[in-house]
Amino acid sequence: MAPSETLTAERILEATEEVLRRHGPAKATVVDVARALGVSHGTVYRHFRTKATLREAVTKRWLDRTSQTLARFVTEDHDPETRLRHWLAGLFEAKRKKAGGDPELFATYSVLAEEAGEAVSDHIDELTGQLTEIVRAGVESGAFTVADPAVAARAVFQATGRFHDPSYAREWLKPGVEGEFEALVELLVRGLR
């Protein structure tokens, strides 16, 4: 690392992702990350106290990218039903892009996510929170008629698991998957009305 550059947590996470991509989750070490940054491993440990903390932080960063992509659908200038459709299509699209665009990195993060129980459940809470906001707006506008927006949002999130849970990634490239997704969204939107 050039001495003029400051070693931020973000730069360490970037390097960690690159090391994970190259070595895979089983072999990547903190020493590899330090070497990639041209610093000692002690320097990395000053930012992330254990290897597990570093792995959890990089997983969180990866998951946050999806939540940030979706956040704009919560507040966009459309009626709640359209926002819901855009949000669900956006989630499917984001996952497919991650899985198809860089399959090795996707497989790596799928392994990391298995370890990072808390980061994953926080992520799911954040996503269902976004969905709840849209469903609540729909109830307020009269477009939806469900009794409990949070319960309905969780049901919608779970119902669409086939189109965002990484364990189904193999299904996302099959012919007909678009039609299956659309039929499911249609059924769920009808259920919320």
Residues that bind its own copies (CB under 8 A): 146, 151-152, 154-156, 158-162, 167, 179-180, 183-184, 186-193
* Least distance (Å) between residue 60 CB and its own copies: 22
Residue with smaller CB distance to its own copies, 8 or 121: 121
Q: How far is the CB of 146 from its own copies (least distance, A)?
A: 8
Print the SS3 string covering the chain.
Answer: CCCCCCCCHHHHHHHHHHHHHHHCCCCCCHHHHHHHHCCCHHHHHHHCCCHHHHHHHHHHHHHHHHHHHHHHHHHCCCCHHHHHHHHHHHHHHHHHHHHHHCHHHHHHHHHHHHHCHHHHHHHHHHHHHHHHHHHHHHHHHCCCCCCCHHHHHHHHHHHCHHHCCHHHHHHHHCCCHHHHHHHHHHHHHHHHC
* Least Å from the CB of residue 54 to its own copies: 26
Min dist. Cβ of residue 29 to its own copies (A):
30
